[in-house]
Structure 1
């Protein structure tokens, strides 16, 4: 029997996991760009020790996840396009082990790789050194990640084994090429299945920011506001954030990657929250800045509006055919114009930009790619030029202004104010879609949400 959701609780945000067929198509697209006689090797992530015999929660390597969806550590994937152009996919995984599984959970095993993940052949890792050399025989070139030094050493051993056994170097892959540039360009363009996951990540992240605005009040610890965000993530099935949440009250908002979240939120100050949920590996990434007591002061309002105007103008230029750098350039111009109007900088805006006089107030770029990694893969330039935006790309738009508490070049009333506004933007065929638009960012919208109901810190919370 179903039960109605209480009116004070937002309904769950649903999303569909990526299908086996989608992962198979990704492998086929990758091999479709490669000539016959080519192999691709890729290794899964390993468990990492947190302290003594306790491990960090396992998170699969993004490249490995993109091509397989396989959730276990230490596996190795081999994709082959033979001389006739036929494609095969092999996976080496941890063996089934009933005793170990009592402690660490069920394993898929070799048979499960074929049945549940669509690989042609599954083997156990204890067969790797015996079976890998024959699989490499006759391949002309081999792609793998040059950053994976352990796999590089293993590959060297397998090739030496093969060469000694055949007493010839002709049947050993002669070309060894870096997989990352090719694979990362595929990852840069998000297909429909990825877009719906990123849409869900944006919606869940937005729900968490709305909750934070509604719960925030003076005297609360930053960590308690972080707990409200994590609660909302978990309520929608997202056990982990996409990155360590930033909850910076007052001058802590001027620290770009502040994650201590240990101070008290004081009346009259702003709090900057940069937090995003992870959905099936895909990241949400939102930043909102709002008044702890629910009401912007005049100075906070003036500086905030400068950042908001810059952010909205930057989002407006995102469309196919625009360049990746366009949002940054328009945001930067408006930020500097705003700083001059408020008296925080003096001079001609264009000259100030050329002199980088804005750097004490705005020291980062406006955008980065977003996907399976928070700062996702893909080149930002092509042939020395900022690359052209295409449908399926997802980027953040996140201008900010940070007036350091010890900045004596400005009036004391401005010091210690940090503001950033960030949304996730999908490039569409006709323009763009803001994936995180359901959390308010206008001054009136924020104040209205925060003051819909009384916000008071109690010991019971």
Structure 2
């Protein structure tokens, strides 16, 4: 991504969508304590990253479209960054910092200041603006600072300063912007999908009876890191046997047993952007007859959903297509009784498929963006990226034939909506029965190995 051009364009777009004479304040993320004097690895706030790409904590971004002192009436953004100063001693212990001067040059800000000047400079920046765009409630420390500054402006002697009279939630504007991915964003997401797909392939080829779920998790995370994606985008799920029926299972500490399926839901984070792939495969490398029947049903439902992914259609149409296939298939296999219409009306399929068909994908794995507009399902549009992830989960205590008990299957891909349909960013990750069995046969052995 061309740093200056891409981020500048986003700041300019936001400035154009704000009301005249407005200022927006966005805080960076803070370090989070893991235990005592250690912190979790730093992950930048998604809104902050989206607008400037600056990678450090304890920073603030201000964007103004004020035109009072300008000769032109055209909307022009003015961006200001507050960040940690250069500090030789601190950088020996904690790592290098950009500092204000290098940050201005590298990221293309109009002005930069040290974080110690934040209170004083923000007072001057806020003064005279009519509107303050801010994500109240998103960051409690930021809330406290902003309200203190507004109070100081309102109480300035002889009304010498003017506080913004109107506070506007900036998230709806930013969420709508983030929902539509630029070519630069799509390129990163495509790469993240490719890296994640390689990790799933490695897990399939590494699986064997006697390993533990965490061994496959280790393979996945290693593959991410070896391709420059240091972190998963979310807690990796490696659920074998009936653990696959726990939708957000992350313990990943059980033995892989012969005859079981293993469900892996894993995606890397690359330059802030998430991939989100789920594949389900047999530990032994061969699906049983019953497993094939349920697996093919999930795959057929996903392909039916794919057919509805195109501009003008809605998430509901995508979901309805998958639900109809799953419900009819469960009737045919004897897990549900009665007509298709009856089961759909009573939503009995929810005993086996209880989650949604997918979600937006981007800087957050469950990315921002409204699913409805004015109470109506919003139509899909080119540039949106979403997941399609049908599944079937048969609880170990379900009232069905025992051949189905404890089987959990999900198949998830990442789709970019295009002008005439979709582009499957994760199509290189095998998911047909033949492709999975063939892949696993290449390096798979049925020898049981004991690991501590």
TM-score range relative to shorter protein: over 0.9
CA contact (8 A) 2:256 2:283 kept: yes
Question: Which residue matches 2:40?
Answer: 56
CA RMSD of aligned residues (A): 1.5
Question: Which residue matches 1:425?
Answer: 415
Q: CA deviation at 1:153?
A: 2.2
**Deviations 1:168-188, CA, capped at 9 Å, x for gaps:** 287210000101111110000
- 1:167 counterpart SS class: helix
Instruction: For 2:7 and 2:391, locate their aligned partners in 1 and report how far apart those are by CA, in whole Å.
Output: 38
Question: Which residue matches 2:288?
Answer: 297
Q: CA deviation at 1:265?
A: 0.4
1:174 maps onto 2:158 in alignment: no
1:352–1:343 Cα change, 3 Å: same
**Deviations 1:266-320, CA, capped at 9 Å, x for gaps:** 0111000000011101001000000100100000000111100000111121111
- 1:40 counterpart SS class: strand
Gaps of 5+ in 1: 1-16
- 1:202 counterpart SS class: helix
Instruction: For 2:400 and 2:254, locate their aligned partners in 1 and report how far apart those are by CA, in whole Å.
Output: 25
Instruction: For 1:144 and 1:170, locate their aligned partners in 2 and report how far apart those are by CA, in whole Å.
Output: 20
1:345 maps onto 2:329 in alignment: no
- 2:268 corresponds to which of 258, 261, 277: 277
Q: CA deviation at 1:449?
A: 0.6
**Deviations 1:1-38, CA, capped at 9 Å, x for gaps:** xxxxxxxxxxxxxxxx4522100111001111123210
Superposition pairs of residues 162-311 of structure 1, within 5 angstroms: 162-168=153-159, 171-311=162-302
- 1:46 corresponds to which of 30, 38, 45: 30
Question: Which residue matches 2:89?
Answer: 99
Question: Which residue matches 1:31?
Answer: 15
Q: CA deviation at 1:457?
A: 6.2
Structure 1 segments of 4 or more deviating over 6 A?
Answer: none
Instruction: For 2:89 and 2:176, locate their aligned partners in 1 and report how far apart those are by CA, in whole Å.
Output: 42
- 2:151 corresponds to which of 149, 157, 160: 160
Q: CA deviation at 1:386?
A: 1.0
Q: CA deviation at 1:54?
A: 1.0
Question: Which residue matches 1:76?
Answer: 60
- 2:140 corresponds to which of 139, 149, 154: 149
Instruction: For 1:130 and 1:332, locate their aligned partners in 2 and report how far apart those are by CA, in whole Å.
Output: 57
1:334 maps onto 2:325 in alignment: yes
CA contact (8 A) 2:27 2:142 kept: yes
Equivalent pairs, count: 444
**Deviations 1:360-415, CA, capped at 9 Å, x for gaps:** 211100010000000000000111111111111000000000000111x1011110
Question: Which residue matches 1:129?
Answer: 119
Q: CA deviation at 1:129?
A: 1.2
Instruction: For 1:431 and 1:99, locate their aligned partners in 2 and report how far apart those are by CA, in whole Å.
Output: 55
CA contact (8 A) 1:134 1:162 kept: no
CA contact (8 A) 2:212 2:451 kept: no
CA contact (8 A) 2:131 2:167 kept: yes
Superposition pairs of residues 17-28 of structure 1, within 5 angstroms: 17-28=1-12
1:352–1:459 Cα change, 3 Å: closer
Instruction: For 1:336 and 1:460, locate their aligned partners in 2 and report how far apart those are by CA, in whole Å.
Output: 40
Instruction: For 1:459 and 1:255, locate their aligned partners in 2 and report how far apart those are by CA, in whole Å.
Output: 25
Instruction: For 1:234 and 1:35, locate their aligned partners in 2 and report how far apart those are by CA, in whole Å.
Output: 43
Instruction: For 1:374 and 1:233, locate their aligned partners in 2 and report how far apart those are by CA, in whole Å.
Output: 16
- 1:70 counterpart SS class: coil
Q: CA deviation at 1:458?
A: 5.7
**Deviations 1:91-114, CA, capped at 9 Å, x for gaps:** 111111111111110111111221
Mean CA deviation greater in 140-149 or 117-126 = 140-149
CA contact (8 A) 1:23 1:69 kept: yes
Q: CA deviation at 1:454?
A: 3.7
Q: CA deviation at 1:324?
A: 2.1
Q: CA deviation at 1:50?
A: 0.6
1:300–1:89 Cα change, 3 Å: same
Gaps of 5+ in 2: 69-74
CA contact (8 A) 2:16 2:76 kept: no
Q: CA deviation at 1:69?
A: 0.4
Instruction: For 1:40 and 1:213, locate their aligned partners in 2 and report how far apart those are by CA, in whole Å.
Output: 47
Instruction: For 1:229 and 1:239, locate their aligned partners in 2 and report how far apart those are by CA, in whole Å.
Output: 11
CA contact (8 A) 2:153 2:161 kept: no
Instruction: For 1:424 and 1:258, locate their aligned partners in 2 and report how far apart those are by CA, in whole Å.
Output: 21
Q: CA deviation at 1:231?
A: 1.3
1:313–1:449 Cα change, 3 Å: same
CA contact (8 A) 1:233 1:239 kept: yes
CA contact (8 A) 1:163 1:169 kept: no
**Deviations 1:28-86, CA, capped at 9 Å, x for gaps:** 01111123210000000000011111110000000100001010001011101113444
Question: Which residue matches 1:12?
Answer: none
CA contact (8 A) 2:206 2:444 kept: no
